[in-house]
Amino acid sequence: MLLTIPHVLAPQELAQVRALVLGADWADGRITAGSQSGGVKNNRQLPEELPAAQQARHLVSSALARHPMFVTGALPKSVYPPLFNRYGGSTNAFGNHIDNAVRTHAATARHVRTDISCTLFLSPADSYDGGELVVEDTYGEHAIKLEAGDLVMYSGSSVHRVEPVTRGERLACFFWVESMVRLEVQRRLLYDMDLAITALRQQDMHARQHDYAKTGEAPELVRLTGCYHNLLRMWADV
């Protein structure tokens, strides 16, 4: 499931994150590359132990935790602490690769199964040329270039790359999610059902207005919500 989520970071948060990371000391992006990706990775990355990285990571993590679309789409069990990268100049691309199935956080020795890969764009789309995130799935290739503050989520098993940046600089945050629901097809079903329930609830509230406050949701909505939670109960690994 490829899902884009706008406005994960509010403008003030985006400005804070950019100021923190741009003022820090960057390193070769291969510091976290696996055996496959190390040969095709040519970017810079912010060492995660730096105070600026830790502060920026906290801002991103807090925004993710309160964003309903991220929670609905990912059903997160564990999130690998967000990292930051930049593309531009002579370090401007990342060739085709698949993310490691499990990431181990060095500081905590905590393992995260990479069910979902995420990129949070931090540079205005018109401030650089190239730099598209290209994700391959059964429907072909998808070139993704979002506005600053927007997020894309996609299957961790997908082949993907970052096209060369030919003008300007592409700044981004990236991380992985281990979902409570391991299978992508089940997550997709739950996501679609949750969106439908939310839309029906709003329609029901609008149609019944004052009566809604007295009687609550329509019985059909109660049962449909129960189906969602019973499926989640059946599939979730918590």
- Residue 22 shares a structural domain with residue 9: yes
d(C-alpha 13, C-alpha 17), whole Å: 6
pLDDT in tens, 101-130: 999 988 888 999 999 999 999 999 999 999
pLDDT in tens, 41-55: 999 999 999 999 999
Which residue among 157, 179, 201 closes a domain?
179
The residue whose two tokens read 């979002």 is 146
- Residue 103 shares a structural domain with residue 159: yes
Q: What is the CA radius of gyration of the chain?
A: 20
Task: State the pLDDT confidence band at 208, using cuts at 50, 70 and 90.
Answer: low
Task: State the pLDDT confidence band at 197, using cuts at 50, 70 and 90.
Answer: very high
- Residue 140 shares a structural domain with residue 212: no
CATH number assigned to the domain comprising residue 63:
2.60.120.620
pLDDT recorded at residue 109:
87
- Residue 13 shares a structural domain with residue 121: yes
pTM metric for this prediction: 0.92
- Residue 171 shares a structural domain with residue 189: no
d(C-alpha 59, C-alpha 67), whole Å: 13
- Residue 78 shares a structural domain with residue 113: yes
Domain that holds residue 117: 3-179
pLDDT in tens, 143-167: 999 999 999 999 999 999 999 999 9
DSSP single-letter state for residue 29: G
- Residue 190 shares a structural domain with residue 75: no
| H/E stretch holding 185 | helix 184-208
